[in-house]
Structure 1
Amino acid sequence: MSQDPPVADPCINICRMDQGGKFCQGCKRTALEIGAWPRMTEQQKAEVLHLIELRV
């Protein structure tokens, strides 16, 4: 049984929140998503990446 590769962190080291304070200007994650990322399952990380696609 093959295992999926780990989900890559979308951080691009441009860590500034937008003017509304809602999303990071670099990776488009919320502050909560950024803080929770290390504890998320691979499925949760994939879901966040999907949400990022919808935000762009």
Structure 2
Amino acid sequence: MPCSRRRLTGSTGRCARVERPLAYRIMPQTRSTPCVSVCTLDAAGRLCLGCGRTLEEIGAWPALSENERRAIMARLSTRPREAGR
């Protein structure tokens, strides 16, 4: 049975542990996001009905700092709620 961070080596078919770089192991790998995997736009095509972000915010999200993401997430609760949110 395959397991994470292992790969087959050579013709023996045996698993060998693949170590991740130290920076990968000590750095947090999660980013704050309001995404709930319900990616549907409102009737105007401006807001995601799942998370409430605008298309501009969604597009910029990967480049934003953690502080910028948290500021946007704080503002989401003040946006008008659409049906289904």
Query: What TM-score, normalized by structure 1, do the two folds share?
Result: 0.79
Larger Rg: 2
Is 1:16 the counterpart of 2:40 in the alignment?
yes
- Between 1 and 2, higher relative CO (CA 8 Å, sep ≥ 6) is seen in 1
**2:50 counterpart of 1:34:** no
Q: 1:46 aligns with which of 63, 70, 73?
A: 70
Aligned partners of 1:19 and 1:34: how far apart in 2? Answer: 17
- Pick the structure with more helix per residue: 1
Unaligned runs of 5+ in 1: 1-5
Higher strand proportion: 2
User: Counterpart of 1:44 in structure 2: which amino acid?
Assistant: E
**SS in structure 2 at match of 1:54:** coil
Identity across matched positions, percent: 35
Corresponding residue number in structure 2 for 1:3: none
Number of corresponding residues: 51
